[in-house]
């Protein structure tokens, strides 16, 4: 596969949370009680702070209009039924209008699209690209587009609701059965206790987003969403009906073209594996006719399918969750089965040949916060893993807002409960992130010295990783360190003709990494060295002899030695 001309560095944020200055966090609180960030809160100063982290692309999560309990009836957007909304604000992945943006994010609701377009312009003015979510697999139960262009048909408009499946239908149905909305879990608070009890009617029932072809989804299913029909008869051997092109395909293409026309530079494609590969093979080239430099990032979790999604499916990048993330999490947590062989396995086997097309991360909206008690409780313990994530390949690396301040995701915000994550379902202020935000100055004025040091580490690491030729396009050579018995220490060289880096990571909680590393002749290419400099600290090694580097790495730390 082709080399990357530049390493992509992504910063993910939810505008609803990112710019929220309110500090009154009431579980299931309303937008008035808990507040909401706006597009306008992502100011020029905020974007400067984001760019300082080496960022090239900002992923604005939760931009598209989704089901919510907040009432904007005066602007023609009434609240959705509480029985099919998760949380007060609602899930960003239960889209109710693909052609509209979330009214929560606007200062003036009727000007919401113009306010988003202004954010795109501000982002581009900083030399940053814009990524938004594309949610192709499912829509909100009460999907209805009020902002669609003239002539566009809504999903389900004209469907034959008397059959479970038809290639001509947009949805799957359970004929003759009414939807039975699951009761909330007994230990989970619910907005129904504070809102007027509502009854939701759906007749006949439509299939639920996570492939539940029954009128009775469970409380653990994506019951707030409806599965879209891409021409696959899921209940009869997954038989495919792709000729003529299903209506959902062309509708989705038109949606992608619409947002491309707004200036969006890329799409993070939610649950890409739940949509037929043939659709991606068709739609990505179609949309790139409008803008060939668009990037498509697929959320995928099956390593056996990665290659086909990148080649046949035409994706530019895929999530590396099941491989690198899961292995690094075990190492960060110092679990009994933690082993640096998981790192080796990723680049030698799972993503061999396409590692530069895997997106690496340690946090996102789905995963536990590093500093949460459920993950590891101390943000600094993840720094060696962040070094690996940023340097193992030329593929993208992503930081989640607040990660660089040690945000723990504390509190039972609402629907998600106390789950070590930052809510995507409710209105909330993000306390440690708010210290960096500093009432809109975005200068870190309220961060503690430890938090300042943490952020500075991220700045140094990500700026270097994003500008390094060896990391973007270099070869990888594993270097033995720590002895054969130590499963918590790892080393490798990334190198080109112009740059050579020895990357050392020590995940051991107690022991230093001590070694003498002799650089192989194949890497040297008749270019000996006598000095080495750590790009993450002030460490400088001089008078080195025999092309050997003395290694001394503290527990739970890392070095990037340029030699």
The answer to whether position 163 is within a domain reads: no
In a domain, 235, yes or no: no
Q: What is the DSSP string of 24-64?
A: ---TT--HHHH----GGGS-HHHHHHHHTTT-SEEEETT-E
Do residue 397 and residue 545 come from a single domain? Answer: no
Could you tell me if residue 277 is inside a domain? yes
The verdict on 270 and 410 lying in the same domain is yes
DSSP strand E in 391-443: where? 397-400
> 528 lies in a domain?
yes
- Rg for the chain, CA atoms, rounded: 24
**Domain containing residue 544: CATH number:** 2.60.40.1180
Which residues, other chains included, contact 125 with Cβ-Cβ below 8 Å and sequence gap of 6+?
44
Region of 186 please: left (phi>0), alpha (psi -120 to 50) or beta.
alpha
Q: Which of 425, 441, 467 is the last residue of a domain?
A: 467
Q: Are residues 20 and 58 in the same domain?
A: yes
**Same structural domain, 354 and 482:** no
Where among 467, 488, 515 does a domain terminate?
467
SS3 per residue for 135-153: CCCEEECCCCCCCCCCCCC
**3-class DSSP assignment, residue 223:** coil
Can you give the residue range of the structural domain that contains 531?
Answer: 474-562
Q: Which residues, in sequence order, are CB contacts of 179 under 8 Å at separation 6+?
A: 200, 201, 202, 203, 205, 206, 215
Question: Which residues on neighbouring strands pair with residue 233, listed in sequence order?
Answer: 239
- Which residues make Cβ contacts (< 8 Å) with residue 241, sequence separation at least 6? 167, 231, 232, 233
Torsion region of 476: left, alpha or beta (phi above 0 gives left; psi -120 to 50 gives alpha)? beta
Domain boundary among 467, 483, 502: 467
Asked if 280 and 315 count as a contact pair (C-beta separation under 8 A), the reply is yes
The number of domains in the chain is: 2
Residues 432 and 369 in one domain: yes
In a domain, 199, yes or no: no
Residue 187 located in a structural domain: no
442 with 499, same domain: the answer is: no
Find out whether 470 and 393 touch, Cβ atoms under 8 Å.
Answer: no
Same domain, 428 and 281: yes
Alpha carbons 308 and 352: distance in angstroms, whole number: 13
The residues, ordered by sequence, that sit 6+ positions from 133 with a Cβ below 8 Å of its Cβ are: 59, 61, 62, 63, 64, 92, 93, 267, 268, 270
Please check whether residues 126 and 265 belong to one and the same domain.
yes
Rounded to an integer, what distance in angstroms lies between the CA atom of residue 554 and that of residue 563? 20
pTM exceeding the 0.85 threshold for the entire prediction: yes
Rounded Cα distance, 473 and 495, in Å: 8
The percent of the chain in helix, strand and coil, each rounded to the nearest 5, is 30, 20, 50
Residue 145 belongs to a domain: no
Beta bridge partners of 239: 233
DSSP classification of residue 349:
I
CA distances in angstroms from 384 to 328, 339, 361, 432, 507, listed in the order given: 9, 14, 13, 22, 7
Is the same domain home to 432 and 481?
no
Are residue 525 and residue 446 in the same domain, yes or no? Answer: no
CATH number of the domain residue 443 falls in:
3.20.20.80
* Whether 454 and 540 share a structural domain: no
Assess whether the previous peptide bond of 69 is cis (omega < 30° from 0): no
- The answer to whether residue 180 is domain-embedded is no
Q: What is the pLDDT along the chain (563 residues), one digit of tens a residue?
A: 444 468 999 999 999 999 999 998 999 999 999 999 999 999 999 999 999 999 999 999 999 999 999 999 999 999 999 999 999 999 999 999 999 999 999 999 999 999 999 999 999 999 999 999 999 999 999 999 999 999 999 999 999 999 999 999 999 999 999 999 998 876 655 555 545 567 899 999 999 999 999 999 999 999 999 999 999 999 999 999 999 999 999 999 999 999 999 999 999 999 999 999 999 999 999 999 999 999 999 999 999 999 999 999 999 999 999 999 999 999 999 999 999 999 999 999 888 889 999 999 999 999 999 999 999 999 999 999 999 999 999 999 999 999 999 999 999 999 999 999 999 999 999 999 999 999 999 999 999 999 999 999 999 999 999 999 999 999 999 999 977 668 999 999 999 999 999 999 999 999 999 999 999 999 999 999 999 999 999 999 999 999 999 999 999 999 999 99
The answer on 340 and 412 residing in a single domain is yes
519 contacts 549 by C-beta, under 8 angstroms? yes
First-to-last alpha carbon distance for the chain, in angstroms, is 29
């Amino acid at each position: 596969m082709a080399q990357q001309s530049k390493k992509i560095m992504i910063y993910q944020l939810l505008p609803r949370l990112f710019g929220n200055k309110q500090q009154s966090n009431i579980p299931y609180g309303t937008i008035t009680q808990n507040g909401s960030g706006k597009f306008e809160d992502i100011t020029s100063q905020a974007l400067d702070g984001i760019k300082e982290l080496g960022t090239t692309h900002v992923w604005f999560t939760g931009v598209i209009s989704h089901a919510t309990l907040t009432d904007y009836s005066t602007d023609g957007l009434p609240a959705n039924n509480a029985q099919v909304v998760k949380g007060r604000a609602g899930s960003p992945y239960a889209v109710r209008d693909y052609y509209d943006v979330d009214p929560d994010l606007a200062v003036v609701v009727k000007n919401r699209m113009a306010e988003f377009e202004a954010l795109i312009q501000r982002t581009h003015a900083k030399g940053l690209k814009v990524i938004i979510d594309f949610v192709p697999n499912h829509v909100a139960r009460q999907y209805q587009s009020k902002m669609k262009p003239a002539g566009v048909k809504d999903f389900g408009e004209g469907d034959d609701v008397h059959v479970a499946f038809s290639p001509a239908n947009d949805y799957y149905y359970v004929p003759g059965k009414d939807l039975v909305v699951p009761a909330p879990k007994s230990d989970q608070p619910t907005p129904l206790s504070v809102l007027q009890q509502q009854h939701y009617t759906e007749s006949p029932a439509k299939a639920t987003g996570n492939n539940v072809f029954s009128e009775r989804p469970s409380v653990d299913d994506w019951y707030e969403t409806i599965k879209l029909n891409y021409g696959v008869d899921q209940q009869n051997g997954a038989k495919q009906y792709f000729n003529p092109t299903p209506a959902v395909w062309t509708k989705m293409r038109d949606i992608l073209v619409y947002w491309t026309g707004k200036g969006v530079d890329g799409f993070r494609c939610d649950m890409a594996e739940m949509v037929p590969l043939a659709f991606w093979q068709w739609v990505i080239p179609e949309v790139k006719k409008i803008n060939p430099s668009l990037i498509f990032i697929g959320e995928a979790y099956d390593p056996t399918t990665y290659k086909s999604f990148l080649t046949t499916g035409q994706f530019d990048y895929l999530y590396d969750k099941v491989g690198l993330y899961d292995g690094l999490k075990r190492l960060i947590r110092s679990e009994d089965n933690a082993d640096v062989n998981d790192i080796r396995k990723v680049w030698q086997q799972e993503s061999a040949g396409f590692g530069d097309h895997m997106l690496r991360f340690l946090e996102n909206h789905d995963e536990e916060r590093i500093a949460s008690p459920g993950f590891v409780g101390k943000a600094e313990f993840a720094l060696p893993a962040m070094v690996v994530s940023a340097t193992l390949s030329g593929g993208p690396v992503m930081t989640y807002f607040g990660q660089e301040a040690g945000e723990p995701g504390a509190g039972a915000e609402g629907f998600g409960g106390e789950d070590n994550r930052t809510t995507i379902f409710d209105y909330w202020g993000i306390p440690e992130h708010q210290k960096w935000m500093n009432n809109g100055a975005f200068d870190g004025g309220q961060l503690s010295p430890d938090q300042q040091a943490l952020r500075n580490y991220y700045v140094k690491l990500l700026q270097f990783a994003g500008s390094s030729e060896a990391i973007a396009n270099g070869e990888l050579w594993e270097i033995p360190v720590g002895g054969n018995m130590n499963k918590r220490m790892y080393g490798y060289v990334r190198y080109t003709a112009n740059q050579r880096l020895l990357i050392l990571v020590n995940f051991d909680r107690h022991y230093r990494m001590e070694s003498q590393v002799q650089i192989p002749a194949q890497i040297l290419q008749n270019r000996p060295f006598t000095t080495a400099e750590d790009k993450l600290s002030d460490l400088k090694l001089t008078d080195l002899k025999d092309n050997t580097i003395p290694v001394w790495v503290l527990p739970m730390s890392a070095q990037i030695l340029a030699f």
